[in-house]
Amino acid sequence: MECYLDNSATTRCLDSAAALMAGILCTDYGNPSSLHHKGVQAEEYVRHAREVIAKTLKVTPKEIFFTSGGTESDNLALRGAAYANARQGKHLITTSIEHPAILNTMQYLEQQGFEVTYLPVDENGKIRLSDLEAAIRPDTILVSIMHTNNEIGALEPIAEAGELIKRVNPNTLFHVDAVQGYGKAKILPKRMKIDMLSVSGHKIHGPKGIGFLYVGDRVKIRPIVFGGGQERGLRSGTENVPAIAGMGKAAEEMYQNLDTDLDRMYALKQRLADGISTMENVRINGLCGRDSAPHVLSVSFAGVRSEVLLHALEEREIYVSAGSACASNHPDTAGSATLRAIGLPKELLNSTIRFSLSVFTTEEEIDYTVQVLHELVPMLRRFTRR
């Protein structure tokens, strides 16, 4: 039985999205900037996707800008806003558990003369609002906080943070990396005081190589890519029409039955956690109920190296991750940033596996995974001791 439990790394593209993309690639392949019929057809696909995505967030279509993915969206938000508002101040705030797309961009901005405050988190990976309030200054121009942590599934207090930021300094912009949260939660930027929001298509059963950035209509931001002036001049480059349409289709379907899908995913995650918890010397990192993400479960298996367990599971056709896929080749740096930040004991840092579910995950897959773990982990521990 194949069990794909690495959905935080990437998801299977929906059949409906793939079919739509194939038709655009081979039939409706015009450039949306062209004035003839083929171009008008292509522009219609882009327009429709923009409207669908805007509806899921209850924002206006003109506030949605298409990019190549979450990393570009994060870069555009941070660098674009920092450069545009540098005269008002050069102080930025983020958290210690952000994705490398945020942390590395912040480090770059520090090299450009900006000052960055990195907020600590508690043992469950959540920021303290008191720390955020204390960090905001008159010259703070931007705060960036992830919606859902990609390693342990911590949900940050986004709505409360938005209210706090605007109360302490109304001029401070609030950016949210929602790559792991969009499609798995109701996110309302206007109500949550979010000025910018990053999303990636391949995390919501859309294609890779596409994403979007929500930018509130009053936000001051500069482009970081220059060219033909597409996306209202904020992100030049010929639009990736097939991918945009595919992401729009995926967004539409992810939000059609969101509540039902969330209930099911939470139940499956709990089933997995309960099955694993009966094993000896295991630790579930972060929270596990409704106050955590519905799809991410981080577990440390004492006495077993992550990479060894990962490949042992792979031999049984169970696919998981040893932390963040984007940093899995650097286990001593960015990949374990979150685990270090929550105070995970050093001996468990390289013994941690991330299981991540999707709407396609079944009870049978969860039960099979638990069964295999009960077989493999004791055996691998005996082998390690030898």
Residue 158 tokens, joined: 């986004």
Q: Beta strand pairing status for 211-215 and 196-200?
A: antiparallel
Do the Cβ atoms of 246 and 22 come closer than 8 Å?
no
Cα distance between residue 215 and residue 71, in whole Å: 15
Cα distance between residue 301 and residue 377, in whole Å: 8
- Expressed in angstroms, the distance from the first to the final Cα of the chain is 31
Residue 268: what residue type?
A: L
Cα distance between residue 259 and residue 241, in whole Å: 30
Do the Cβ atoms of 164 and 33 come closer than 8 Å?
no
Polymer length in residues for the chain? 386
Cα→Cα distances 156→12, 95, 125, 152, 176, Å: 26, 10, 8, 12, 10
Do the Cβ atoms of 144 and 94 come closer than 8 Å?
yes
Residue 37: strand, helix, or coil: helix
How many helices and strands, by DSSP H and E, does the chain display? Answer: 11, 12
Do the Cβ atoms of 230 and 237 come closer than 8 Å?
yes
Cα distance between residue 186 and residue 259, in whole Å: 9
Catalytic residues: 326
